[in-house]
Amino acid sequence: MSESTNSKRLRIGSGAAWWGDRVEPAGLNAEKGDLDYLCFETMAEATVSAAQVRARRDPSFPGYDTYLDDRMRAVLPGCIRRGTKIISNQGWINPQGAAKRIVELLRELGIAGVKVAAVSGSLITERVLSLAPTILENGEPTGTLKDTLISAEAYMGPSPSCRP
């Protein structure tokens, strides 16, 4: 099938498929992948829970991917040079903190004029107990979870009106 003048090829690459993924392939994708987007998927339910527990034990923990600096240092120069946009969920329980850190890394690398955004709102740990009066599985009051609740997140996803 030939590419029509109305269609555009979109190249998407992976920077990470889980928290402990290697950094080197992300750097290669940034440098040689000729990508439109480089995506990092480092957040899972267990990762968020572990981050919440760590944040409670260690107030100095920033709440975002512990490999954020390594990953961004490896890919930012190549992505900037090639015009590749980065999409990431490395913000874990502190997306704004991760965005601020990326801005700092850009400054350290002498890169200016790059937009960095953070999406928040999925962490509802502070509100979850007031959202419903009872636990559906056992009918007990949600308040009974107060002492054992580690984290609560809402998967928001794109709205149905989102179109490429």
DSSP string, 99-130: HHHHHHHHHHTT--S---------B-TTTHHH
Specify the amino acid at residue 155: Y
Q: What is the mean pLDDT of residues 7-35?
A: 94
pLDDT tens-digit map of 29-76: 999 999 999 999 998 888 988 999 999 999 999 999 999 999 999 999
Report if pTM > 0.75: yes
| Interacting residues of 26 by C-beta distance below 8 A, sequence separation 6+ | 14, 15, 16, 38, 40, 71, 74, 75
Which letter does DSSP use for residue 149 in this model?
A: -
Specify the amino acid at residue 84: T
